[in-house]
Every structure is written in C-alpha cells, then in structure tokens.
C-alpha cells in the first residue's frame, strides 16, 4: 500500500518534536512539583494527626470484628422472634425518629422564613443601600460558617436540654445557607416585571409580591426541600450534644457497646433518610411540572 | 402614575372582559396553595407542641444567650494559645488525610461502579447501594464508631472522614467516568490497546481534573467537619470547643469560634484558587 501521509521536512519535524517534548516536560515538572507539595503536606499532616502505622496495623483487625459484632443473630427457623429481639425497642425508637423528623421540619421552616425575609436585603438588584447589603450578607455568612452542632452546644447551655436548642441550631444554620441561595436566585430574576410594578406605583412589598415572588417561588421551594433532606441528617446527630432526637439513644448504644442496638438504630436512620430523599425528589419533580403548567 | 390608576380603575369592567385569564386564577390551584399552607402550619403547630416549645423557656433562654454573648467579649485564648494552635493544625491534618484516604479508596471503587467500565448490572447496583448506605451515615456517627475501634484521638477522626467521604467520592467519581467522552476509549481500542490501557490513557486524562476539583471541594467541607468531630472525642479543635463550653469559659469559646471561622475562610480561598487553576487549565479536555 502506498503511504499517503505527508511527511514534513526534517528540520521542521525536529523543531516540532522539540517543542512537544518541552511542553510535556513542563507539564511533568508542574505535576511533580504539585505532588512534592502534596507529599510535604501529607508528612506534616501525619505528624500533626498522630498517625502511627504500626498502631494502625496492630489494631486494624478490630474493624471487621466490630462490624461483625453489629450483625444480629438471625436464624431462618425463628426469624420473626429474632427480628423482634433485634428491634426490641422499636416503639421508643420510632417515637424518637418522628421527633427527629419534626426537629428537621421546624428547623427548615424557621430557617426558610428567616432566609425569605433577609434574602431581599442581601441581593444587589433590590437593595440599593450598600451597608444593608453587606451587613445582611455577613450575617448570613456567619450563620452558615459556624457548624450547626456548635450552635446546638451553645443553645443547650442557654435553653436547656431538649429539642428546642436542636431546632434553633438547625434554623440558624439553614437561615445562613438558604439566605445565600435565595439571594442568588433573586439576583438572577428578570427585572422588567419589577420595573413594571414600580411604574404602576407599587411599593416595596407589593412589588415583591407581584413581580419577584412569581419568578422565584419554585426555586425557593426546591432549595428548601433540599435543605430539609440535609437537616434530617443533621437532626439525627443533634442528640449527641443533648439537643433532642434519636442521636442520644444512638450515642448511648455506641458508647456502651450495645452492638445490635447500634445496627438497629443505624438501619432505622438510613431507611428514614433514604425514604425522605426519595419523597422530596418526587416532590421537587412535581413542583417543577406544576410550575410549568399555565 | 396618578392619572393612570383612576383611568384603569374606571375601565375595570372592560379590562376584565378583555383579559379574563389575568383576573381569574384557577380555583383548584388557589385551593391547593391554601391547603398546603394550612397543612404546613398545622404540622408546625403540632411540632411546637410535641417538642415542648414554650414562650417562657424561649424568653429566658434568649436572656441567658444574651448574657453568654456579652461574656464572650473580648475573645481571648487565655494562656492556651499554643494548645489551640496545635489543635487547629490537628484539625487541618484530619481533614487533609481523611479526604485523601477517601479519594484513594474511592478511586478504584468509582471505576467499579461506572456502567461503561464494568457493564454488569448486578455489580453496578450492589456497589451503588453500598455507597448510598455509607453516605447515609453522618460523619459524627462514623467518628463515634471509630473511637470504639481505634480509641480516642485524631486517628479516629481521619478514619471517620475517610469512611463517610468514600461513599460520596465513589458516587461522584463513577458519575464523572460515566459522562466521559467515549471516543478516546474507542481510539485506544482501535490501535490495539487493552482495556486497562484504555482506562489509563483515555479515561483518566478526562476524569482526573474533575476528580481533583471534587476532592479539593470536599477538603473544604471536611475542614468544617473536622472542626466538629472533636465534640465526640475524635481529635481536633472541637474537643477544646466543647470542653470550654462545658466549663463556661466564654472568652475562650469566642476565640475558638473565631479561629474556626478564619481557618475555614482561608481554606476556602486557597482551595477555590487551586480548583480554578486545575479546571481552568484543562477546560478543553473536560468540556
């Protein structure tokens, strides 16, 4: 077969090859530098994190043993009784799970209301006063940067043990996270309806009600549902610091090595989280469809 | 404006007749909105009752909180600044090692869970469900479990973060691999490359920048997680935070919170710079 490939003249070819090699070498050098930096950071982190390979290797067999202990003793012949033994405290645990869901619900609702009120002050297209904008943005940032469990720790001291500090902690964190997302949605709206409403003499409130809300409602609802999913997970561990829900029971079970209780509660939590995720996903798809209908 | 409104009001009947759609919204839709809002409020009322909210408790709590916040000023580390800085370094170490361990563990799992690499429905389904389960458990729960396995200290924290992120990374990596362009893979196959070579030279160059940026993003979020896992005893600055809250030393609490805020902001800034550099450099490859 006759080759139809055009060959470049040798000097040109050599020049091109040299350039290619130089480019590859530069890329490799950059990668090597990055890896060296990473290795240095890893060594420092290993020292700071007290990583001890020998200790790790000596103890690693405990992890499978622990997981093995989590498994309950089930037998086919006596399955109903064994399951009953495994989930012996199902009534109490379900009650706590419902509490957990309600904590997440209230936290999301209160946070959403706060974010709804604040987001209009934090968005550049509706708020002209610079200092108001900056102040509300910094406030939202503070609310979402401090972890919710830290708020919960503080609130447990102030409000006492129970579900109330948990709800308030989730609410404040959701306020920060949702406020930012809401403000971004509001900044991306079409301003023409707002101008139209202003031109007909609408004040601030009616302008928002008739020109802004119709544009942002579906996004707000969708973000709130997503936040609810996250808050269900958050509410499940609020009990670790005494802020209500099923976390307290789980922590006691883990600390006291009640292995089968740990696995039973974990299964309940995971199942709840999965059900909530699926349900909110359904609801969000339905909302999007609802919005598109006239 | 002033002339427009009376004119429009005077012509209301004609306007209604000309644009009926604007004035009459569908009754079903309105009923649905009212029904939803009522339902949400009733549920909220029930929750307030069931979770034992009371205004008096809220009021006294707020007063207490105001008192606490007043006590927080000025934030001061006392004589424990070196201890706190050490704990902060430990926190960053936990985040870094945990994230990287998770990434290394999840790298092969991501390929196993990708439909275009392992076209076995059963394997795909099983790996995905395991990853979902791991992801469904909060990092604090993993921390408690690993404390039982390896004892109190930062090592339990590293393992907890590695474990919970492994699930998330596995899922995201497999998605990145599934959305990768097929043509380079076919090209390698057409020149006689094996499947392993196709993964190395066709898939990895496409997905590596995406993975790297996801890992960096998780490093950011793990810095936040690493600050709190100390609360259950898994090392880092959270241990000191919960201790100082327990002994009601509010100046130190405020100082620790400030330290956390500054660190998180700094890490966010650095990592977003690096992420932009990685993605920006290889945008052609990814896009």
For chain B, report the end-to-end CA distance as a whole number of angstroms: 51
For residue B218, give the nearest of B165, B182, B286, B261 by alpha carbon.
B165
Say how far apart CA B256 and CA B249 lie, in whole Å: 11
Least confident of A82-91, A199-208, A252-261: A82-91
pLDDT tens, position by position, for chain B (287 residues)? 456 777 777 887 888 788 776 666 677 778 888 898 999 999 999 988 888 888 888 888 888 888 888 888 888 887 888 888 888 888 998 999 999 999 998 888 888 878 777 777 787 788 888 888 887 788 888 898 888 888 888 888 888 999 888 888 888 888 888 888 888 888 888 988 888 888 888 888 888 888 888 888 888 888 888 888 888 888 888 888 888 888 888 888 999 989 988 988 898 888 888 877 776 654 433 33
Which residues contact residue A244 at a Cβ distance below 8 angstroms, ignoring those fewer than 6 apart?
A99, A100, A103, A162, A163, A164, A165, A166, A167, A235, A238, B51
Nearest to B153 among A50, A157, A160 (CB): A50
Interface of B with A in 75-134 (CB under 8 A): 86, 89-90, 92-94, 96-97, 100, 132-133
Q: Phi-psi region for residue A27, left (φ > 0), alpha (ψ -120 to 50) or beta? A: alpha
The answer to whether A26 faces chain B, any CB pair under 8 Å, is no
* Planar angle of CA A178, B131, A50, nearest 5 degrees: 85
Structure tokens at B227: 């600050």
Asked if this assembly's ipTM is beyond 0.90, the reply is no
- Minimal Cα–Cα distance from B125 to chain A, Å? 16
CA-only gyration radius of chain B, Å: 28
- Minimal Cα–Cα distance from A294 to chain B, Å? 10
Structure tokens at B229: 């896992």
Interface of A with B in 250-279 (CB under 8 A): 250-251, 254-255, 257, 262, 266, 269-270, 273-274
Is the Cβ pair A257, B148 closer than 8 Å?
yes
Say how far apart CA A92 and CA A97 lie, in whole Å: 9
Mean pLDDT across chain A: 86
Nearest CA in chain A to B37: A109
A109 contact residues in B (CB cutoff 8 A): 40, 44
Say how far apart CA A168 and CA A183 lie, in whole Å: 22
For the entire predicted model, the pTM comes to 0.81
3-class SS of residue B117 = coil
Mean pLDDT across A247-269? 88
Cα A238 off chain centre by: 15
């Amino acid at each position: 077969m006759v080759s139809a490939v055009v060959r470049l003249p040798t000097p040109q070819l050599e020049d091109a090859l040299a350039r290619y090699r130089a480019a590859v070498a530069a890329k490799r050098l950059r990668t090597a530098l990055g890896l060296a930096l990473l290795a240095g950071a890893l060594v420092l982190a290993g020292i700071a994190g007290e990583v001890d390979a020998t200790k790790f290797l000596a103890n690693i067999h405990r992890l499978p043993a622990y997981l093995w202990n989590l498994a309950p003793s089930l037998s086919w012949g006596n399955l109903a009784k064994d399951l009953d033994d495994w989930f012996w405290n199902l009534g109490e645990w379900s009650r706590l799970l419902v509490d957990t869901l309600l904590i997440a619900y209230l936290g999301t609702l209160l946070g959403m209301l706060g974010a709804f009120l604040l987001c209009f002050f934090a968005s550049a297209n509706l708020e002209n006063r610079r200092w108001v904008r900056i102040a509300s943005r910094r406030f939202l940032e503070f609310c979402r940067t401090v972890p919710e469990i830290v708020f919960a720790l503080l609130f447990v001291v102030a409000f006492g043990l129970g579900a109330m500090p948990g709800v308030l902690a989730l609410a404040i964190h959701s306020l920060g996270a949702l406020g930012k997302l809401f403000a971004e949605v509001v900044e991306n709206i079409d301003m023409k309806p707002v101008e139209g409403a202003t031109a007909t003499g609408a004040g601030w409130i009616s302008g928002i009600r008739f020109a802004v809300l119709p544009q942002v409602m579906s996004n707000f609802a969708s973000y709130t549902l997503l936040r609810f999913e996250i808050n269900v997970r958050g509410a499940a561990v609020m009990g670790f610091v005494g802020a209500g829900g099923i976390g307290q029971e789980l922590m006691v079970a883990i600390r006291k090595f009640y292995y089968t209780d740990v696995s039973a509660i974990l299964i309940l939590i995971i199942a709840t989280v999965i059900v909530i995720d699926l349900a909110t996903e359904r609801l969000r798809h339905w909302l999007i469809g609802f919005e598109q209908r006239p | 404006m002033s002339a427009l409104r009376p004119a429009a009001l005077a012509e209301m009947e004609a306007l209604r007749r000309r644009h009926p759609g604007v004035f009459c919204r569908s009754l079903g839709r309105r009923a649905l909105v009212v029904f939803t809002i009522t339902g949400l409020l009733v549920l909220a009322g029930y929750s307030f009752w069931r979770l034992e909210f009371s205004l008096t408790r809220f009021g006294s709590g707020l007063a207490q909180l105001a008192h606490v916040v007043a006590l927080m000023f000025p934030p001061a580390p006392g004589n424990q600044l070196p201890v706190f800085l050490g704990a902060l370094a430990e926190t960053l170490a936990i985040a870094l090692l945990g994230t990287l361990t998770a990434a290394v563990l999840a790298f092969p799992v991501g390929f196993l869970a990708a439909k275009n690499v392992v076209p076995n429905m059963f394997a795909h389904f099983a790996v995905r469900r395991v990853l979902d389960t791991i992801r469904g458990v909060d990092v604090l729960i993993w921390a408690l479990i690993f404390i039982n396995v390896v004892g109190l200290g930062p090592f339990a924290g590293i393992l907890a973060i590695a474990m919970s992120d492994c699930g998330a990374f596995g899922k995201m990596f497999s998605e990145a691999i599934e959305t990768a362009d097929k043509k380079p893979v076919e090209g390698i196959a057409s020149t006689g490359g094996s499947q392993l070579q196709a993964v190395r030279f066709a898939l990895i160059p496409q997905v590596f920048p995406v993975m790297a940026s996801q890992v960096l993003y998780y490093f950011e979020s793990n810095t936040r997680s690493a600050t709190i896992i100390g609360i259950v005893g898994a090392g880092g600055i959270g241990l000191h935070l919960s201790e100082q809250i327990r002994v009601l030393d509010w100046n130190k609490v405020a100082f620790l919170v400030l330290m956390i805020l500054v660190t998180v902001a700094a890490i966010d800034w650095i990592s977003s710079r690096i992420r932009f550099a990685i993605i920006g450099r290889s945008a052609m490859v990814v896009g």
